[in-house]
A = this chain, B = another copy of it.
Amino acid sequence: MATIRDIAKITGFSITTVSRVINGHPYVDEQKRAAILAVMEELDYKPNKIAQKLSSGKTYNIGVIVPFVNHAFFDGILNGIMEEAFAKKYKVTLLPTNFDRKLELEYLEEFAAKGFDGLIVITRANHIETFYPYMEKGPIVFCENSTGTAVPFVAIDLVGSVTASINYLKEQGVKRLGLTLGRSKRLSCNSVNTIAKAKELFPAFSEADIYWDCIKAQDGISAAAFFKERGIDGVITNGDEIAAMILNQYSHGTAPIVIGQENLLISQMLHFSSVEFHLNQCGKEAFRLFQERKQEQIILPYELIIRE
């Protein structure tokens, strides 16, 4: 591997001059520039990226903490982040936690060790306080509603959408409301907020009618069994694929009214209601907050898409 030193030695110029050529700086004689470029070409020389990063202190790399990929919600946001990062010449490194707190901590350590210029946390495994000390090391942006803290975030309006969904179900005469939720409420403030809203707006709602740990489409199968047994006639799910799976289990008998999330193609095809969260925009804004080092807290508008 040829280095900048080799090029300098061979061309007879100094490392500095070669460096100037590499970076397209002015104040280099055109003749010499051409000669240096020729040698670089001949030796198939490429400036070492790592060395450049070490020297500049910038990696042009952003880490994205996410439970896992291949999941509509996370992928939607990730997609937005990537589009924006790409436009700004940043690279995106995936940091999947699978909700493992220790693993997430390792990523934070790596960030503190200058592994990334910034971090976007789509969904965290640890408590938000855990992140505070690391936020002094560099910009960290969250994609979760963290009202009450001072962290920059851009989040979807889950409370708003749940409110609208419940009101709609009430209008439709739903008697017993069911919910599917992801991780236990101890960990997810989204779950906490959703439950609070349900209790507030739907007095008959009982926490016993929540189907927990509902993450992937397949979880919809047992969720449906759960709801059938309890005579649920209206369900707010945490994902279109889950919603689809639930509906599919009701092939005979009347299905409850089910509301999905993410407004995926499947909700359109199976014709059930869903919520458009603008996940792509969420990701884009998150990256913008990182890059401009803004401290904003943004909640995106949602649209409840009724299909009946």
Whether B96 and A93, one on each chain, are in contact in the complex, defined by CB atoms closer than 8 angstroms, is no
CB of A266, distance to nearest CB on chain B (Å)? 5
In the assembled complex, A13 has its CB within 8 A of some CB on chain B:
no
Whether A93 and B61, one on each chain, are in contact in the complex, defined by CB atoms closer than 8 angstroms, is yes
Residues of B within 8 A of A245 (CB): 265, 269
- Which A59-90 residues have a C-beta within 8 angstroms of B? 59, 61, 69-70, 75-76, 78-79, 82, 86
In the assembled complex, A50 has its CB within 8 A of some CB on chain B:
yes
Please measure, in the bound complex, the distance between the C-alpha atom of A192 and the C-alpha atom of B114, giving whole angstroms.
Answer: 46
In the assembled complex, A187 has its CB within 8 A of some CB on chain B:
no
Q: Chain A, 18-57, contact with B by CB distance < 8 Å: what is the 0/1 string?
A: 0000000000000000000000000010111111011000
Please measure, in the bound complex, the distance between the C-alpha atom of A269 and the C-alpha atom of B109, giving whole angstroms.
Answer: 43
Please measure, in the bound complex, the distance between the C-alpha atom of A112 and the C-alpha atom of B48, giving whole angstroms.
Answer: 9
In the assembled complex, A217 has its CB within 8 A of some CB on chain B:
yes
Q: Which of B46, B217, B241 contacts A109 (CB 8 A)?
A: B46
In the assembled complex, A296 has its CB within 8 A of some CB on chain B:
no
Residues of B within 8 A of A306 (CB): none
Tell me the nearest residue of chain B to A75, going by C-beta: B70
Query: A70-B75, A82-B69, A91-B94 in contact; A47/B113 too (CB < 8 A)?
Result: yes
CB of A280, distance to nearest CB on chain B (Å)? 9
Q: Chain A, 242-279, contact with B by CB distance < 8 Å: what is the 0/1 string?
A: 00110010000000000000000110111000000000
Tell me the nearest residue of chain B to A47, going by C-beta: B113
Residue count of chain A within 8 Å CB distance of chain B: 43
Residues of B within 8 A of A54 (CB): 48, 50-51, 54
Please measure, in the bound complex, the distance between the C-alpha atom of A96 and the C-alpha atom of B87, giving whole angstroms.
Answer: 11
Whether A96 and B114, one on each chain, are in contact in the complex, defined by CB atoms closer than 8 angstroms, is no
CB of A97, distance to nearest CB on chain B (Å)? 10
Q: Which of B49, B76, B78, B113 contacts A49 (CB 8 A)?
A: B113
Q: Which of B59, B76, B244 contacts A265 (CB 8 A)?
A: B244
Residues of B within 8 A of A241 (CB): 265
CB of A172, distance to nearest CB on chain B (Å)? 23
Residues of B within 8 A of A48 (CB): 54, 113-114
Tell me the nearest residue of chain B to A240, going by C-beta: B265
Residues of B within 8 A of A244 (CB): 265-266, 269
Q: Which residues of A contact B (CB under 8 A)?
A: 1, 44, 46-51, 53-54, 59, 61, 69-70, 75-76, 78-79, 82, 86, 91-96, 109-110, 112-115, 133, 217, 241, 244-245, 248, 265-266, 268-270
**Interface contacts beyond A92-B93, A265-B266: sample of 7 additional A-B pairs, CB < 8 Å, sorted by A:** A50-B54, A61-B93, A86-B96, A93-B94, A244-B266, A269-B270, A270-B270
Pairs A-B, 5 closest by C-beta atoms = A46-B113, A49-B115, A70-B79, A49-B113, A50-B54
